[in-house]
Structure 1
């Protein structure tokens, strides 16, 4: 598969579900356009304990989730992989994988639900034993054909993602 092929399509984003289940209990998604810190019109539904046990929010402008939902907030730009704090990203992926394998229903979200959330979701899948190419394919199938259209993220996952995940996994 050509990992450089997907491109951003705003019309596609408008027609997608807000969240998509990639594997049972592991969800990837975006943030409702009204669910931002500066919007005082709170007519949207907040993410509650009925929705998810753990939410990773990678869009700094997103409102926090509701009470009693564990949330990891790591605002990251959808930019070049060199602009991302990779040790922190890998740490979050490790924490998400552990929670998911223990039975938590997990959502990894960013703004559109494609790139930043896709990076973490792919790392979780790699940690679970999937190779990077298969992880990207699955995310694009289950979330969006535009997922991981950030070429820098996709190329890094294919070229270095598996090694990075192995380095954070103890052998004993």
Structure 2
């Protein structure tokens, strides 16, 4: 399964992860340092829980850190993948409510992680537009530049799940 699109005229993130709000962090598997060099973002035990929508060996987290992995494309999702996003967002929101620090990550830390993080924010009381804008302000203006994911959030993942399921 291809999990990363090749149309990346998007700049690499400038940090491995960013705090979106108390308890919620968003990031990727690589970033560029101050000199512009590509660096790998490796998670150790900085977070209580890590949600990975893209996974690469050697990028953590450390043994003992709760880790949820759900590889999916950075493009249109099927009904099962949308359901998995909903599950991960609910687990993320619950962990934050319980005072835990959660990192949601994907390849660059823009789209797939943005989808799960935004849905977690919606579970925590944000409306979709506010969640999207907060993520763009805190992570990067490039976060959630996948218009399909933005539409899923604005439509509501429950309805998006039903509509996509009709196409199957």
TM-score by length of 2: 0.78
Aligned counterpart, 1:56: 51
Aligned counterpart, 1:79: 75
- What is the SS of the residue equivalent to 2:86? helix
Aligned positions, number: 147
In the superposition, relative to structure 1, how do residues 138 and 9 fare at CA in structure 2: closer, same or farther (>3 Å)?
Answer: farther
- What is the SS of the residue equivalent to 2:30? coil
Aligned counterpart, 1:24: 22
- Whole-angstrom distance in 2 between the partners of 1:44 and 1:117: 17
2:164 pairs with 1:160: no
Give 2:114's match in structure 1, choosing from 99, 118, 122: 118
Aligned counterpart, 2:92: 96
Aligned counterpart, 1:67: 63
Q: Aligned-residue CA RMSD in angstroms?
A: 2.5
1:162, distance to aligned residue in structure 2 (A): 7.4
Equivalent residues in 2 for 1:37-48 (5 A)?
A: 46-48=42-44
- Whole-angstrom distance in 1 between the partners of 2:28 and 2:130: 22
Segments of structure 2 that go 5 or more residues without pairing to the other structure are 1-6, 32-38, 161-168
Per-residue CA deviations over 1:81-101 (Å, capped at 9, x if unaligned) read 347611111111111111111
Per-residue CA deviations over 1:86-139 (Å, capped at 9, x if unaligned) read 111111111111111101110000000000000000000000111000000000
Segments of structure 1 that go 5 or more residues without pairing to the other structure are 1-6, 34-42, 165-172
In the superposition, relative to structure 1, how do residues 162 and 84 fare at CA in structure 2: closer, same or farther (>3 Å)?
Answer: closer
2:135 pairs with 1:142: no
Q: Which has the higher contact order (CA 8 A, sep 6+)?
A: 1
Per-residue CA deviations over 1:65-93 (Å, capped at 9, x if unaligned) read 11111100111110113476111111111
- What is the SS of the residue equivalent to 1:85? helix
In the superposition, relative to structure 1, how do residues 110 and 102 fare at CA in structure 2: closer, same or farther (>3 Å)?
Answer: same
